[in-house]
Each structure stands twice: as C-alpha cells, then as structure tokens.
Amino acid sequence: MNTPLSTFIRDIEFLTLENYPGRVARCHFSLADYRDDCFHEIGIIIPEHLVHAVPKRRAEYLAGRCLAQRLLAPLGFTDFILLPGEDRAPQWPPGIAGALSHNAHIALCAVHGEPGQGGVGLDVETLMSSVSVQELWSNIVGVEECDRLRCQPQAFNLLLTLTFSAKESLFKALYPQVRRYFDFLDACIMAIDEQNGHLN
C-alpha cells in the first residue's frame, strides 16, 4: 500500500564515494506528490521557519531529513530528529559530521563519524543557463579564475556550475568548524583534473 511518503520519496539509493569514510544516500522526490502529512510519517514536525514557506521549500527540507534518518539509524541514532540551529545549519548528533543538498527533484545526504575525519560537504545543482552565467559569474569566480575556466575544453556554463557546487560543498564542510560565513570568492579553483574528476 502506498503512503503519502512513499509516493513523494522515490528511488532511495545508497552510494559509495571514493575515499569517503561515511555513507551517502540519494533520492528523487516528487513535488506534485508532496503532502504535509509526510512529515508525520517520519515522526517530525514542520519547523517553525517553514510553517509559512511554499510547499516546494517544505518538500526539499523533508526529502533531506528523510535521507538523514536512513543514514543515522544504523549509526545508533534511530530516534534522532535533525533540526536546524539558529544559523539554520543542520545540528548533527554528537560525533557525527554530515551534509545535505537538494535541487528541484533530487536530495543528497552524507554522514560519517567525525573524530579525526573533519567535515563533509556535498551539493547537487541544476546546470546554469547561459543567461544565469552572465548574471552570476562575477559572484562565483574572480577574473583570473574565470579565465582559467574559459581555457578549458568544456562548456563554460558547465564549469561554472561545477565551480559553484564545489565551493558550496567546501563551505558546508568547513562551516561547522569555523562557524562563520565566507564568500565564493574566498576560495579559488586552481586546476581541473578532468581524467580523475578532481578539482584543486
């Protein structure tokens, strides 16, 4: 029998990432099938800051929290409810580092035991259009960095989207330690290793 949650959340996958010591999950979710009742199915209430939010925002939040529950339960946190802190950042259980991301239809979550491992960041983005690239590039990369990206064989909108995503991931990994916001221009892509899929 389908429930509101099983109709809303689809295709949960558990992924393995090279050199990552933790667990990662991804799901697809259907905004058209989102219902507020889905929150009750996983035992959490709609947070105060989302009570008056549009359904899209509540759906994205719920999809990420559903994945977090799936990943935290095997680590002994079966009843843990991942709430946002005053800074809206997820408040992970003691000794756990984690990250969440979503776009219009996909949610991602990663968690690992924190001691000695540092933080984790991940991000999923929709490919930027050429119009968005022209409007946003100077907020994401500096002039030299922009020139470096434009020298690559790949399309600039792909590389700018990738750069945005990498910097967003870096922020998520570092924020729990530094507890301050920093700008996209505070980090710089120095090299792209296309063959191995690495950025420096």
**Annotated binding-site members for CoA:** 57, 65, 101-102, 123, 168, 172
75 token code pair: 């680590």
Mean pLDDT, rounded, for 148-174: 95
Average pLDDT over residues 43-49: 89
Average pLDDT over the chain reads 92
- pLDDT value of residue 88: 83
CA 187, 113, 196 angle in degrees (round to 5)? 45
Q: Taking 90 as the threshold, does the pLDDT of residue 87 lie above it?
A: no
* Percent of the chain whose predicted confidence (pLDDT) is above 90: 73
Specify the pLDDT at position 86.
84
Domain ranges of the chain: 4-113, 130-199
Residue 129 has pLDDT above 70, yes or no: yes
Sheet of 9-15: strands edge to edge?
Answer: 9-15, 23-29, 106-113, 96-102
| Adjacent-strand bridge partners of 111 | 23, 98
Counts of helices then strands in the chain (DSSP H, E): 6, 6
**pTM exceeds 0.75, yes or no:** yes
> If you average pLDDT over residues 26-47, what whole number do you get?
93
Q: Considering the chain, what percentage of its residues have pLDDT values greater than 70? A: 98
pLDDT for 1 equals 67
Residue ranges for the known binding site for Mg(2+) are 123, 125
Question: Does position 90 have pLDDT exceeding 80, yes or no?
Answer: yes
> Is residue 182's pLDDT more than 90?
no
Output the known binding site.
57, 65, 101-102, 123, 125, 168, 172
Q: Which fold has domain 4-113?
A: Ribosomal Protein L22; Chain A (3.90.470)
Q: Is the pLDDT of residue 69 over 80?
A: yes
